[in-house]
Structure 1
Amino acid sequence: MNLRALISQGEGERLEFKKKTTHPTRIARTLASLANTHGGQVLVGVEDDGRIVGVRDAEEEMYLLREAAAHYIDPPLTLHFREVETEDNHIVLIVSVPESQNKPHRAQVAPGEWRGYVRVRDESVQTSSLTEKLLAQQPEDHLEKIPLSKDELRVLDYLRTKHPRITVAEYAKLLNVSRRRAYRTLIKLTLHGYLRYHDKEQEPYYTL
């Protein structure tokens, strides 16, 4: 697939745009999330809106990415690089991250602090310890469905009997919990196959 066709897909579960690699710790989360999910590509030299700006020094970018993959991700990752020159002389670096057979991978977010990430749509989402155990058990499969708590069952019942969709704000109000807790619960249910995430409208929502 050529570069323009790839960009036209937009950011998603298997594709991330980066204007440049600012620091290994920041890119490490993206790389780990792709490896922990279905693999994918990072286009360096592309703005979030898909505009091509190119990289100043492809060798420096590759050095930072290799540093992130080797020293800021555990276990380390092997990346594959391809340079593409556009018709207006911009260089875009295509970084391919294969789906790992050695999950889970954790990214270093601070000295001595490592966290796991998975890819949900176009975001790198921090994993729970349960998700990491499932990743370790099932290197080639989707995450299995899991036993649910009373609060988690309540959102499924809400969707089956009252409304076809729910937002983070609606779930937080339904259970009288913080938006952060509501978001983490809905992401967990999405990862384990109970819900689907939709982001085409102004406010993302979830359905069965």
Structure 2
Amino acid sequence: MTRRELEQLVDLGEGLSLEFKRRVPQPQRIAKEVVALANTRGGRIVLGVNDDGTVAGIDHASEERFLLRQAVEAHCQPPVDYETERVVVEPRCDVLVVTIPESDEKPHLVVADGAPEEQGAVYVRVEAKSMEASPETVQELREQRQKSGTTFEFGETESLLMRYLDDYGRISVSQLAQLADISPEQASQTLLRLTRADLLHLHPDEDGDYFTLNY
């Protein structure tokens, strides 16, 4: 990547697939960003850039690479693939571009030192933030490979759901539970079943996940 290409990348600003960091933060914090990108659509973390897009640079790219590798190896489960590229901005001032592809092994978790994997947390990108995934999002990540061939019975609950979506455009687990007079667990499974069948789309959101029609 050239300096000009770096400037064009930074001009895009932080978003769903782009995160700026002044330097590698605490291990679990950078692991959260890596995992969130891998669990969503992939993207880049640019080290040496402030949140406002100011290119501050880093003095020792090799040290930042080492800290990043340590954090990913210690706190990302299963392991996340990534690549790094050093861009020279000026003498003794580099930027490190970390590219994380969308993973085929979702969901990746962030685990604490010495903690078992089942105690880890799953993160996804929502707009320009990395946030902890809801149970519905975690289950959807686990089942993405199994979407094809999903079958289900289209009953009263599904009919109510479709009519509601035609009128209002979006629905949450709690709204479906109230609408159909079923438990939140049943509402969640109904929505996820229709999502696996590609009839609905799940939108992670920091104010609460919601579902929309997928057409």
TM-score of the superposed pair, with normalisation by structure 2? 0.65
Shift of 1:57: 1.2
Report deviation, 1:77: 1.1
Aligned residues: 172
* Contact residue 21 and residue 44 of structure 1 kept, 8 A: yes
Would you say the 8 A contact 1:102–1:139 is kept in 2? Answer: no
Matched, 1:46 2:49: yes
Pairwise CA distance, 1:139: 5.0
What is the match of residue 175 of structure 1?
Answer: none
Deviation of 1:114 (Å):
1.3
Once the two structures are TM-superposed, the CA of residue 79 in structure 1 deviates from its matched residue by 1.5
Unpaired runs of 5+ residues, structure 1, are: 142-149, 165-190, 198-205
Query: AA paired with 1:193?
Result: H
Choose 1-10 or 93-102, whichever is displaced more.
1-10
- 1:73 Cα deviation after fit: 0.6
Query: More displaced, 38-47 or 53-62?
Result: 53-62
Equivalent in the alignment of 1:5: 8
1:106 matched to 2:109: yes
RMSD: 3.9
Code of the aligned partner of 1:45 = G
The one-letter amino acid of 2:43's match is: G
Q: Which residue pairs with 2:59 in the alignment?
A: 56
Q: How many angstroms apart in 2 are the aligned matches of 1:115 and 1:127?
A: 8
- Cα distance, 1:133 vs. partner? 1.8
Q: Which has the larger radius of gyration?
A: 2
Asked if residue 133 in structure 1 is aligned to residue 136 in structure 2, the reply is no
> What is the DSSP-based 3-state SS (H/G/I as helix, E as strand, rest coil) of the residue aligned with 1:26?
helix
Three-state SS of the structure 2 residue aligned to 1:93 is strand
Q: What percent of counterpart residues are identical?
A: 36
CA distance in 2, matches of 1:194, 1:77: 24
Letter of the 2:201 partner, please give it. Answer: G
Deviation of the 1:157 alpha carbon: 6.2
> In the superposition, relative to structure 1, how do residues 110 and 158 fare at CA in structure 2: closer, same or farther (>3 Å)?
farther
Question: Which is further off, 47-56 or 104-113?
Answer: 104-113
> Cα distance, 1:69 vs. partner?
1.6
Q: Please, which runs of 5 or more residues in structure 2 have no aligned partner?
A: 148-156, 170-194
8 Å CA contact retained: 2:137, 2:202: no
> How far 1:110 moved relative to its partner?
6.5
Give matches, 1:48-197, under 5 Å. Answer: 48-87=51-90, 90-109=93-112, 112=115, 113-139=119-145, 160=167, 193=201
Q: Say if 1:40 and 1:98, in contact at 8 Å, map to a contact too.
A: yes
